[in-house]
């Protein structure tokens, strides 16, 4: 009889360990599923924001390159603090090619906030560049929009307001 009782006790102990292991695995799966759900929900919100950028156009066609305040100088451009699909119509006589479009804190190019590199396209005689800039985390204020051609590496800065 003692051999049968020992086998029953072993069987009960094994069943108890199996039940604890299943309960632990179930808890881990539930915790992982909960974190996964929160992660996917957070990333989905960001993906929706990235997937639907705000389209803006900055027309620099008649903007001259001046030093200091000059008549006819470009007034400050406004962009929202969002993901922006920005089309920049380049100033007259701008060469075609790759352009780096950047948003910086200072006119000397320091304090880079966002940038995008793209080739020019043309609509009639006007060369333009389209880039996507993520400005969602940028605080409202004064910045500079710069254009830099791949060959001459000279950056031209234009006043910019982020709203």
What does the alpha-carbon distance between residue 80 and residue 54 come to, in Å, rounded to a whole number? 8
Reduced to 3 states (helix: H, G, I; strand: E, B; else coil), residue 126 is: strand
Answer whether residue 102 shows pLDDT above 60: yes
CB atoms within 10 A of CB 100: 17
What does the alpha-carbon distance between residue 153 and residue 100 come to, in Å, rounded to a whole number? 9
- Kind of pairing, strands 83-89 and 54-59? parallel
Answer whether residue 109 shows pLDDT above 90: no
pLDDT of residue 4: 82
Backbone angles phi, psi at 108, to 5 degrees: -90, 5
- 54-162 belongs to CATH 2.60.40: yes
Does the predicted TM-score (pTM) go above 0.75?
Answer: no
pLDDT tens-digit series, residues 9-31: 888 889 899 999 999 999 999 88
The DSSP secondary structure of 101-160, one letter per residue, reads EEEESSTTS-SEEEEEEEEEEEETTEEEEEEEEE-TTPPSEEEEEEEEETTT--EEEEEE
Domain ranges of the chain: 1-52, 54-162
pLDDT tens-digit series, residues 69-93: 444 456 678 999 999 999 999 998 8
């Amino acid at each position: 009889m003692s051999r049968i009782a020992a086998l029953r006790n072993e069987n009960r102990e094994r069943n108890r360990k199996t039940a604890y292991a299943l309960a632990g695995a179930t808890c881990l799966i539930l915790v992982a599923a909960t974190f996964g759900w929160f992660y996917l929900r957070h990333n989905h919100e960001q993906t929706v924001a990235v997937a639907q950028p705000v389209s803006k156009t900055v027309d620099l066609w008649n903007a001259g390159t001046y030093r200091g305040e000059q008549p006819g100088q470009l007034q400050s451009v406004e962009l929202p603090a969002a993901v922006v699909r920005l089309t920049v119509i380049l100033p007259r006589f701008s060469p075609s090619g790759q352009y780096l479009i950047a948003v910086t804190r200072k006119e000397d190019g320091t304090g880079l906030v966002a940038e995008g590199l793209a080739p020019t396209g043309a609509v009639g005689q006007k060369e333009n560049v389209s880039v996507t800039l993520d400005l969602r985390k940028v605080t409202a204020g004064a910045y500079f929009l710069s254009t830099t051609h791949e060959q001459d590496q000279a950056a031209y800065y234009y006043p910019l307001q982020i709203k």
